[in-house]
Structures are given as C-alpha cells and as structure tokens.
Structure 1
C-alpha cells in the first residue's frame, strides 16, 4: 500500500533542504574568511603548544633544583651534627689554653661610657665677660664667669620658652586658639630632639659606632656639610621634619607647622630651604 505524504511533510523537507543549501552557500561564500580563521586557530594552538613545552622545561629545572636543595640541606644537617659533636667533645685542656692565649692578646681595657666625652670649652671674648652674673660678697660685687668660661654646648641649641609678654604680642591670626603652655610644650619637644641629635654628634664617629648609631651620625654630619656648603656661617644648630618624626613618632602636621611659624615670628628659629628640604636653624644668642 502506497504511503501517503502530506503537503506539510513535503514543505518541512523542502525547508530542511533549503537551510542546508543556505549553510553550504554561506560556507562557500565565506571560505576565505573561514580559511583565515582556521589558520589563525592553528597558529594559536602551535603557540600554546610551545608555551606548554616551555612550562614543562621550567618544571623539570625546578625539580632538579629542588633535588639539589634537598641534598644541600642534608649536607648542612651533617655539618651541623659534626659541629655539635666537636663542641661537646672539645678537650677541656685546649679550652683553658685558648682562654689564656686570648687574655694575653686582648688585655682587659676599661670601656669608656658614651657620655665620657669631654665637652669643648667655649671661647670667651671681652664682650662675653659683660654677660657674667653678678655675685654679692659682703660689701663688694663680683661677676661670676664660671657659666661663661665653662659653657655647655647644650646652652647654644636649647630654645628658650616664650614669656607672657612675648606671647601677647603674637598676632591673633597666627596663634589662633593655641595657648602659651601649648607653644612652650612644643619648644620642650624640640629641645629634646636637639639634645638627642647633638648628643649623637658629640660622641664622634668612634663613639657613635660603639653605641650603634653610626649611620645616624653620618647622616647628621652630611646635613651639616650641606648647610655649610650653602654658605650658612657660624655655629649651626638645626633640626628638620625627619628629626621630629624620629623622636616623636609623628609627623609635622598643619598645627605643628603653624607653631613653627610662631617660633620664627618670635626669633627662636630661622627657616632654611635647600631645594625641597626644609631645615629649622636655632637662633643662638
């Protein structure tokens, strides 16, 4: 019996064939683009293959390095065991002999403390003698020049606190809401910074090395040389933002910079700019 094909089935078959023909036609029309895409894909696969081979080689090298490291660790362990064995079995007679030889070669020398350096005496001029403090002895008045003759270098870089009269003359726009006690507390902090800095410099290179502050000493000396090279005359005592941060573990913020402006106004410090570096020189009397 013959199979009856409906019109709908015929149309479906025709549509299917048309779709296949369209696909084949599209392939034929875009065969060059498809060819280029396939070539590009092939090149990418080859590049990936080369990369994988490179990774395999690197992995092999890492494995070899790992093996050599393990061998080296084993040798270190053997050496450590031998050293421990030699230490535990070192003859006591040889130990005593070595101690005696060391005492002969290195006599015991009393180590000087870091603060054992001699402070330099100040050079006193005739004008300085007028600054000696008067002492009343009976009916006569003599001048005490001990402080002038044996002047401590610390007296040169210590900033004097502001008095009430000095504080009252500071412009309101400059001081803002800061009080006299706040300004003087800031001066005390600066004095501590200066004392530490010039205490390190007073040790000298040898003393700074013994104290473990050689790098800091060399840094301070370089800063001094830079200032002298900038034609800063006379005895120079100064500090900068790094010194402040090192001593206080805090930076010079806007408030502290305003206080420095106040100290400049009151003739306590002088600002020196060397390029981007700012240093604050203490004005010595």
Structure 2
C-alpha cells in the first residue's frame, strides 16, 4: 500500500468514526464524548493537511515522470532514425585479408579450379589492395554539383563493387594457368594484355571487369560517382589502348 493510499484509508476510518458519533448526537452525549468528537475533528483536519501535501508531492512526481517519458520518446525516435538510416557500408579500418576473399562473381562462367598449396601460400603473402570506403565527412565535402542526386550509400556501393572486381581479378592473376578453366584463362590473358609499364605494381580494373564480376550498371550515374571517387582521391584514370584503367590510390 502506497503512502497516499495509507493516508486515504486512515481518513476514511476517521470519517466513519465521526459519522457514528454524529448519528448518536440525537441523544445527549456525556462531556467526555463531546471532547472525543473534538479530538477526532482535529485529528481529521491534520490528516487532510497531510493528504493534501501527499497529493502535491504525487503531482510533482507525475510531472517529472511525464518529462522523463517525453525524453525517452525523443531518444527512441532518434535511435529509430539512426537505425533506419545506417549506411550500407560503414567505413572502417581494414586489416590484412588473409582469411577471406570476396566472391568473384555471380556469373558462373568463371569457375576457378582449386589451386595447389604452393599457389595458396603465394597468394596469401600479399593481400589484394582495396579501396577505402568514403567517410561521411568526405561525402559532405564533395561539391553539390558533382554529387547531384547520388547518396552516401550509393557512393560506397560502387566502392564495394570496385573492391569485389579487384579481388576477383587478382585472384585469377595470382593462380597458375594450369589451375584455371578455359574461360578463366581467357580472362587471365586479357588482364595481362591490359597491363603496361605504368601499371606495374598497381591495382586497377576496367569497366569490363566490373561488368564481369558484379551486377553494377556501368552507366552515366556510374561515371558521375567515379568523378566523386577521384575527388576523394580514391582512384585515378589511366587511358591507353582504347580502354580506361581505374587505378586504386
């Protein structure tokens, strides 16, 4: 029983007691009974004052709880907004890619056969370099005319697609020709033909690689996003032989 309920119960008992005394007032009461009625009235007055005090305290508590509820509702809305707008790709510090390699492609035509243990050891010695995701501060620094309607999530989705292409491409290049099927050998040869003295020791992809290993559309919007990636110093272009190479920085 709460303090307020306890006082209310006590007042009810007092009032009931006074009611019984008043019911008996039709007869002449002894002096001591009249004195008792006065004492009960004084006690009831004190209880009423205490009751009013408790009511005031409860009102203050109710107001405080209402403020807390409003604060919790606002926090909940903020958290929900954050959850609904989490970027598809959150930039993070990348470590050596020793344990996993990205899925090469959803195009099942490229079927790389298992390689010999020596080839795996050689492949694991040097991790494939990937492009770092764009941070929110970098995205906000891009001029509006360059961003257009592209969103932060779309920009990093292209970064992910480029990384997938780079990983798949250099996975093939690092395997021996004997371990590859005919289609993968053709890709291996194409990759080698696209290399020049300026690409030595560098990682790069071309548009055909992105089409081969991802489902990303290489269209006008893609070209616009490449401009933003150049602005953020994630890549540079190297043209020659009728193709454009996107070099990772």
Query: TM-score normalized by structure 2?
Result: 0.50
Higher relative contact order (CA 8 A, sep 6+): 2
**Could you say which structure has the larger radius of gyration?**
1
